Amino acid sequence: MSLTLFKNVHVLDVRAGRLLEDHQVLVEGDTIRELSDRPLTARSARVIDGGGRTLMPGLIDCHVHVTFSQTNLGLLAQTPHTTLALRALPILRGILRRGFTTVRDAGGADWALKQAVEDGLDGTVIGPRLFVSGPALSPTGGHGDFRPRSDRLQPIGCGCQRLASTRVVDGVDAVRLAVRELLQMGADQIKMMSSGGVASPTDPVNALGYSLEETRAIVDEAAARHTYVLAHAYTPEAIRRAVECGVRSIEHGNLIDAPTAALMAERGAFAVPTLITYEALARDGERLGLGADSVAKIAQVREAGLRSLQILKDAGVKTAFGTDLLGASHALQSEEFLIRAQVQSNLEVLQSATLVGAQLLNQSGAIGEIAPGARADLLLVDGNPLQDLACLTGQGERIALVMQAGTVRVDARPSTSAG
């Protein structure tokens, strides 16, 4: 089994919130075998001299859409799957180059794309490790029903149809079947719509999505396969309904209030704010094809973003890192770090993109930290992110090396220092 030895690095301990200066880290195959402040002996190892850089765990984004290559999601409904997959390839490469070695796709990517990444050791498909939801579930008229208003509403047919990487499905029995089908097709978790949203054309943000009975059925079926449900939800009422039914992860949550945040903390639910997407949509959404109805809804949730982050922090809610970017805006992914830092400490932001993300994905100890037995997802960074998160922004210009599961995916170090 191959060995790689990192020397002359300062290891970022995201649990303790400190740099372990002048350490060495030994990787065996795809796993971290040892780290030490003393020289490690590994005669056959490839040696990577970090040049005094920070060695930190690969980042985790818990809300991406790698197949959403356009801002107007309604246009994706008629796009062939092969086209969607091909357009996803540069999005995947960009995400990995920015240091995100694991992502949770919150609607769109499927098992086949996940397998293509996992099988991409030959370099055919390079990207972050994917935890896929498949198409998100939406009730008729909910966030996910992209049919335009008309006196001739496009029929749903058998009760379940793909519309812009969602499945519009209604009724307890129908949603049970839909969840079972998605899990059989390889979904890692289930995404559902519990409130209205911005990108869809006909649902107000404060609209409620699935009924209590439907939500319980979705959660029950996911639990039967030992997985969980994430819910798109903005308002306190929508969030409370979802959490009380057993939903594990609330996406966005911009309009949350303190009592609802307290309930989330009590139930152990996670929050995944996605603040950068509202900045991107406010800045460029209309120009990039977002419909007028959606543009009008952006301000309502954008203005509440930082306030919701403070409410979640005060309540002690476990908050993971997410971005939810669409189309050309994917390149803004790392700006979420700087937005979060207006409310959270640098360490809290880093933990959201490492330890908390790993916990949400049920991968604690496997990813999100540098420790013996963890996956060798590692970044060599020019700078100390505990002091300045800007070293993680942009397109990875200050990330000199990206290792994913023991394989070096990016090595931008000067050739004279290459190990």
Rounded to a whole number of angstroms, the distance between the first and last alpha carbons of the chain is 18
Homologous superfamily of the 59-360 domain (CATH): Metal-dependent hydrolases (3.20.20.140)
Is 233:206 a contact under the CB 8 Å cutoff?
no
pLDDT digit string, tens, across residues 268-309:
999 999 999 988 887 776 665 666 666 666 777 788 889 999
- Minimum mean pLDDT among 18-22, 67-71, 109-113, 274-278: which range? 67-71
| Angle, alpha carbons 340-342-347 (nearest 5°) | 60
pLDDT greater than 60 at residue 334: yes
How many other C-beta atoms lie within 10 A of the C-beta of residue 363? 17
What CATH architecture does domain 3-57+369-417 belong to? Roll (2.30)
The residue ranges of every structural domain in the chain are 3-57+369-417, 59-360
Q: DSSP states of 92-160 as a string?
A: HHHHHHTTEEEEEE-SS--HHHHHHHHTGGGSSS---EEEE--SEEE-TTSTT--PPP-SSPPP-TTT-
pLDDT digits (tens, 9 = 90+) for 132-149: 999 999 998 888 777 766
